[in-house]
Amino acid sequence: MTGILEALRHDYGAGALAPIQEVIRAEVYDNFLEMAEHLLGLAYKDPAAVLIGGVLEQNLRKMCLRAGISVKKDDRPRTADALNAELAAKGVYGNLDQKSVTSWLDLRNKAAHAQYDAYGAEQVRLMLLGVRDFLRRASA
């Protein structure tokens, strides 16, 4: 048992456990996205859009931290749109991804502010597919 604990302490000190944190984060994101997919299957497009948007925004914040971009301004959280623009400006991802993220954030905002007629279930389904793909390619 002592040997296992020493090996774990050594691995932790060497930063070898950081990938485990990334695996756990990815699992949590996948679980939330699976919940959103389930909600869509039950015709609950609005909460699904909010859930997908929350996963996206959290991932943008993690990407910013990794890229050395501040997620706060004057002790207040920066908007997801501002983070998206800065991530693209820094070359973390390209303009096409930036435009997609802007679109998904807009859909999430419409869902969160009860503008339910502004989008349809198929748009939320496309958002889910797009966010999943984006997270695979550009995940924090």
Domain count, the chain: 1
Domain that holds residue 119: 2-138
pLDDT digits (tens, 9 = 90+) for 118-138: 999 999 999 999 999 999 998
Spatial separation of the C-alpha atoms in residues 120 and 127, rounded to whole Å:
11
**pLDDT at residue 128, as a whole number:** 97
Parallel, antiparallel, or unpaired: how do β-strands 72-73 and 76-77 relate?
antiparallel
Question: Averaged over 9-19, what is the pLDDT?
Answer: 60
Q: What is the CATH number of the domain that holds 123?
A: 1.20.120
pLDDT digits (tens, 9 = 90+) for 34-49: 999 999 999 999 999 9
pLDDT digits (tens, 9 = 90+) for 103-112: 999 999 999 9
**pLDDT at residue 31, as a whole number:** 82
Instruction: Say which residues have a Cβ less than 8 Å from residue 108's Cβ, sequence separation at least 6.
Output: 49, 50, 52, 53, 54, 56, 57, 127
pTM, entire model: 0.77
Q: Using 50, 70 and 90 to split pLDDT, how confident is the model at 32?
A: confident
